[in-house]
């Protein structure tokens, strides 16, 4: 595993957490916050809650799977990413030309409105 892979995973979990965190249990939110936001180790979390490292690991894995399940059903992160890409394209068109392609801009704006 490259160094970038854990970072990509952490960024994905954090993004999913931003969208679906309120749907998790208090314990799931707490463990994910400690592990992904505050960079606590499994051992540090286990000591804080007086449980085994394995229990912490299982709670975190279950919470990650719950976040992925929500995304598979609701697609909020995918829609967010799609909107972001369209907005970036609009910005590029506007920055690159004083009179950007109005037809393409109108089409991109229409896509933004129709993502949902």
Rounded to whole angstroms, how far apart are CA atoms 12 and 9?
Answer: 5
Query: What pLDDT score does 71 carry?
Result: 98
- Name the pLDDT band for 97 (thresholds 50, 70, 90): low
Q: Give CA angle at 36 (22, 4), nearest 5°.
A: 130
93 or 57, which is more confident?
Answer: 57
Closest CA to 55 of 40, 65, 44, 42: 42
Query: What pLDDT score does 101 carry?
Result: 67
Q: Domain range holding 81?
A: 77-113
Examine the pLDDT at 102 and tell me if it is beyond 80. Answer: no
91 and 60 assigned to the same domain: no
Examine the pLDDT at 79 and tell me if it is beyond 70. Answer: yes
User: Residue 53 is part of a domain; what is its CATH number?
Assistant: 1.10.10.10
The mean per-residue pLDDT over the stretch 34-56 comes to 96
Q: What percent of the chain has pLDDT over 70?
A: 92
DSSP of 15-67: HHHHHHGGGS-HHHHHHHIIIIIS---HHHHHHHHTS-HHHHHHHHHHHHHHH
48 and 14 assigned to the same domain: yes
């Amino acid at each position: 595993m490259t160094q970038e892979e854990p970072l990509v995973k952490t960024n994905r979990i954090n993004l999913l957490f931003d969208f679906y965190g309120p749907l998790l249990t208090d314990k799931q939110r707490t463990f994910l916050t400690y592990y992904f936001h505050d960079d606590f180790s499994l051992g540090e979390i286990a000591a804080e809650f007086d449980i085994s490292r394995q229990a912490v690991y299982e709670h975190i894995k279950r919470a990650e799977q719950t976040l992925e399940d929500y995304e598979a059903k609701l697609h909020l992160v995918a829609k967010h990413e799609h909107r972001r890409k369209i907005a970036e394209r609009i910005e590029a068109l506007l920055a690159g030309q004083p009179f950007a392609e109005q037809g393409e801009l109108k089409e991109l704006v229409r896509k933004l409105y129709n993502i949902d």
